[in-house]
């Protein structure tokens, strides 16, 4: 129930009064951003002694396992609660069936074991999808049909289930299926529980759109040039909003503990609708294209780096996100900690 009328009239009411001083603005701030809201995506690669920059993502690097602990140490020191791992699989290990995803000694599993030894306090989020492992760049397995090649839902889910269990057994705390296959959350939850991994959480990419903003990420993991066609038969149509709510509802019913909207900034309306409808832990991914746009403008002198970065992250919180996967995580944490 609303009591009274909160809206006055000028000049008795002057909205600028509460903006007059920094301390007033702090007292009246409706949304807060903290280090606890950040998840840092990290790209890992095979080899040793190498840290290579992703050309389309200024400041973002791929690191080999021997340098991974040193790379993650800055996140640990800043109190960033979780990191998300994304592997760059060598071409010789890729094939049409993505079999390297099933290898319990693959890059992401070795990285998880290393990081759990070095930083047991940091949560590990593991990407579950086949695009880093397939030579065609799709998130699932391609099967021939009467109307042409098609990403087969149920065959793909069977592989994703084994991939998820392998990651969880290696130390991944949060399984994050990003494939958008129907029914995969229920299948993964059932397999995790059967394996005794009942505390492994699932953060579902529940509303992942077939977006133009993923290009730099595909460069980073080496799947962009390999991709045949597009992903519109399984990722969502950017025109749709109600459909996102159905996707989220299904994933929650199947056992998702958290849900994610991806991309982020162009889809803040989806974040708000999901949070308002379901009231569950809701995350957003500030994807590679969003990061690249901001950094390109910064490098051209068109945007002020720190202000643009922090304003973009605050927007996710204002929309209702519990947290954000962002390549700005370390920079933002330093600012928030005053370092």
Sequence ranges of the binding site for Mg(2+): 247
Phi first, then psi, for residue 80 (nearest 5°) are -65, 125
Residue 262 designated active-site: yes
Q: How far is CA 10 from CA 5, 15, 17, 28, 323, in A?
A: 14, 9, 12, 20, 38
Separation between Cα atoms, residue 196 and residue 184, nearest integer Å: 18
**For this structure, is 275 an active site residue?**
no
Q: Mark out the alpha helices in the chain (DSSP H runs).
A: 22-28, 65-78, 107-118, 153-170, 184-194, 215-221, 242-254, 268-278, 288-299, 305-319, 329-337
Task: Report the alpha-carbon distance of residue 294 to residue 292 in Å, rounded.
Answer: 5
Q: Could you tell me which of 117, 106, 130 has the C-alpha nearest to residue 44?
A: 106
Binding residues: 247
Of these residues, 94, 231, 262, 317, which one is catalytic? Answer: 262
Please give the full DSSP string across 138-170, using - where no structure is assigned: -SSEEEEETTEEEEEHHHHHHHHHHHHHHHHHH
Question: Which residue in 94, 208, 231, 317 is the catalytic one?
Answer: 208
- Residue appearing with tokens 């933002």: 332
CB 43 within 8 A of CB 54: yes
Residues noted as catalytic? 208, 262
């Amino acid at each position: 129930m609303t009591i009274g009328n909160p809206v006055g009239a000028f000049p008795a009411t002057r909205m600028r009064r509460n903006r007059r001083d920094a301390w007033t603005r702090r007292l009246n701030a409706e949304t807060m951003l903290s280090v606890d809201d950040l998840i840092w995506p990290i790209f890992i690669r095979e080899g040793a002694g190498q840290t290579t920059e992703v050309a389309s993502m200024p400041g973002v690097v791929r690191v080999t396992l021997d340098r991974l602990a040193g790379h993650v140490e800055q996140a640990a020191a800043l109190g960033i609660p979780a990191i998300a791992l994304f592997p760059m699989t060598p071409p010789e290990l890729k094939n049409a069936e993505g079999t390297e995803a099933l290898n319990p000694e693959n890059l992401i599993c070795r990285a998880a074991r290393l990081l759990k030894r070095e930083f047991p306090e940091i949560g590990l989020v593991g990407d579950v999808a086949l695009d880093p492992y397939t030579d065609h760049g799709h998130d699932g397995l391609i099967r021939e049909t009467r109307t042409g090649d098609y990403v087969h839902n149920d065959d793909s889910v069977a592989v994703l289930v084994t991939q998820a269990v392998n990651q969880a057994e290696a130390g991944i705390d949060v399984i994050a299926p990003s494939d958008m296959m129907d029914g995969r959350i229920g299948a993964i939850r059932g397999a995790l529980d059967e394996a005794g991994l009942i505390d492994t959480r699932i953060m579902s990419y529940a509303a992942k759109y077939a977006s133009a903003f993923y290009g730099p990420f595909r460069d980073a993991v080496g799947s962009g040039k390999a991709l045949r066609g597009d992903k519109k038969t399984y990722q969502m149509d950017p025109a749709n909003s109600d459909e996102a709510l159905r996707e989220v509802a299904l994933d929650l019913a199947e056992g998702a503990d958290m849900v994610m909207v991806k991309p982020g900034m162009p889809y803040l309306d989806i974040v708000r609708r999901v949070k308002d409808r379901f009231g569950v832990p809701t995350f957003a991914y500030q994807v590679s294209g969003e990061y690249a746009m901001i950094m390109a403008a910064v490098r051209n002198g068109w945007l002020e780096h720190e202000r643009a970065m922090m304003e973009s992250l605050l927007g996710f919180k204002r929309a209702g996100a519990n947290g954000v996967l962002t390549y700005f995580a370390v920079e933002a944490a330093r600012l928030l900690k005053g370092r």
